[in-house]
Structure 1
Amino acid sequence: FFRFGKLVGSAPEAQFSGNSMAYLKFRTTFQKDEALRAYFEEITGLTLAMSDDFGSHSMAAGDFLKAHDDNNRNRRLALVLYLSPDWQPEYGGVLRIVDPAGHESTVPAQYNSLVAFDTLAGTTHYVVPVEETAGSDTRLTIGGWYRNPS
């Protein structure tokens, strides 16, 4: 069983809340700020193009993401920003990145951390199930991709 929900819509009274406005500002910066794109080019050594491929995600107990690669839609650099301040390791929901030789790297869902990886490096990745110990807590992320400039 697979469940993966995107945070979509909001109550009318929350549409212009501080949180929604911060999200929109972050999204706009990610999509249009050349200096931010240049920063990621500098730290990764990759040549990147801007993207509108961006979203927010929520995973609750039982949710997971099957192994896959992001080598599609001309994606080049994947980014995931973790937004759950009280997330505990025993809640699960960790990202696992598998290199072409089959070696796995585990990336904990640590609050206020950013993960970036090259989608053309031959890796796959998946998110292990969020455990029932998470209770009503959810694994919240914002993610997106810079594109390959070709």
Structure 2
Amino acid sequence: MSADADTQIDYFSDALVNRLTECSASISQQWNNPEGTTTRHFVLDDVLTKDDVNAIYNAFPKNGDGFFDRQSFREKKRTATDLSQYSPILSDITYAFQNPRVVDLITGLLELPGIEPDPDLYASGLSMMFQGDYLNPHIDNSHDAQRNRYRRLNLLFYVSPHWGLERGGNFELWDTTRTHPRTVVSHRNRLVVMETNKTSWHSVSKVIADQPRCCVSNYYFSEVSPDATDYFHVTSFLGRPEQPLRSLLGHFDNTLRNSVSKVLKIGRGKRLINKKQ
């Protein structure tokens, strides 16, 4: 990594630390008092300057060139983990969230010891969703690619301008019955951090706008599971409340994929890592 890249990462890291520190009381309050869901989370707005966020958004390939196209009954979106083929600013903002100062501050505020970032960007990195794209209710894969560490935190930073509720593509955290979501609009310059565990069901509503919804994502991991027990599950999808047949298919699909992974003792989606850091 070049000195210039280090400088840019440090610049973004400084901005993140400053904003997180300014809002530390609100972050702790939100985390410990989740509304509309049992999944602990917090929402932080105005993370970077407007110019910085615009530069990040403009660096995304507007047609998703080079992104991996994920389409199934579970989801429809495009993702990228090999950041070397894009503007350095996309790699810089992604890895700023992995700066030790940022990681230590977030995990300290949330009182979660032993948490580590993931330089491999397993199933994280960049995502783009276009008109008609969606992400059905799901719980994330329990582990990293090597199945050595448990997934603990999901960090989502949204950068698309002029984004409002009416545009769709909004983040949703579900209640215990998976019948009512808490909707968090994917506003530009908004960071959402949520815990990941056996019951942290979340989704993205269908994109309505004819504009790409762009997101920078990271996962943090730990050697100890959220409930201190030993467990494993693949990313598991169900349908929305109005999609009972899709939920039935999801139950069958989740059971099959879980069984295969447990018998073969393998993780899933190992190609979705950054091999060119």
TM-score scaled by length of structure 2: 0.46
Amino acid in the other structure paired with 2:104: A
Structure 1 pair 41–8 and aligned structure 2 pair: CA distance change class (3 A) = closer
Question: Which protein, 1 or 2, shows the higher relative CO under an 8 Å CA cutoff with sep ≥ 6?
Answer: 1
* Corresponding residue to 1:35 among 91, 101, 106: 101
Q: Which amino acid aligns with 1:141?
A: C
Q: What is aligned with 1:110?
A: 187
Unaligned 5+ runs, structure 1: none
- Using a 3 Å threshold, how does the CA distance of structure 1 residues 45 and 82 change in structure 2: closer, same or farther? same
- Contact conserved, 2:142 with 2:197, CA < 8 A, in 1? no
Bigger radius of gyration: 2
Residue 100 (1) aligns with residue 167 (2): no
Contact 1:99 1:122 in 2 (8 A): no
**Alignment match, 2:207:** 130
User: 1:65, 1:127 within 8 Å by CA — same for their partners in 2?
Assistant: yes
- Residues 8 and 145 of structure 1: is their aligned pair in 2 closer, same or farther, counting only changes over 3 Å? closer
- In structure 2, the CA distance between the partners of 1:149 and 1:49, relative to structure 1 (3 Å rule), is farther
User: Alignment partner for residue 90 of structure 2, among 5, 9, 23?
Assistant: 23
Number of the residue aligned with 2:216: 142
TM-score normalised by structure 1 residue count: 0.81
Q: Which residue does the alignment assign to 2:136? A: 66
Shift of 1:9: 7.2
**Correspondence list, 1:73-84, <5 A:** 73=143, 74-84=150-160
Count of residue pairs brought into register by the alignment: 139
Q: Is the CA contact (8 Å cut-off) linking 2:156 and 2:192 kept in structure 1?
A: yes
Alignment partner of 1:51 out of 77, 101, 118: 118
Relative to total residues, which structure has the larger helix share, 1 or 2? Answer: 2
The whole-number CA distance in structure 2 between the counterparts of 1:76 and 1:117 is 8
TM-fit CA distance, 1:68: 0.6
CA apart distance, 1:147: 0.4
Task: Indicate if the aligned counterparts of 1:60 and 1:139 stay in contact, CA closer than 8 A.
Answer: yes
3-state SS, counterpart of residue 76 of structure 2? coil
Q: Percent identity?
A: 27
Alpha carbons 2:151, 2:219 under 8 Å: kept: yes
- Further displaced range: 95-104 or 39-48: 95-104
State how far apart, in whole Å, the 2-side matches of 1:39 and 1:121 are. Answer: 25
Counterpart contact for 2:81–2:125, Cα < 8 Å = no
Provide structure 2 residue ranges, at least 5 long, that are not aligned to the other structure: 1-72, 144-149, 225-277
SS in 2 for 1:4: strand
Would the alpha carbon gap of residues 36 and 124 (structure 1) be closer, same or farther in structure 2, given more than 3 Å must change?
same
Distance (whole Å) between structure 2 residues aligned to residue 9 and residue 37 of structure 1: 22
| 1:119 equivalent in alignment to 2:196 | yes
Give the Cα–Cα distance (whole angstroms) in 2 for the partners of residues 68 and 34 of structure 1. 29
Q: Which amino acid aligns with 2:196?
A: T
Once the 2 structures are TM-superposed, how far is the Cα of residue 50 of structure 1 from its aligned partner? 2.2
Corresponding residue SS for 1:61: coil
Distance in 1 separating the partners of 2:193 and 2:223: 17
SS in 1 for 2:218: strand
Equivalent residues of 2:129, 2:213 under 8 A apart: yes
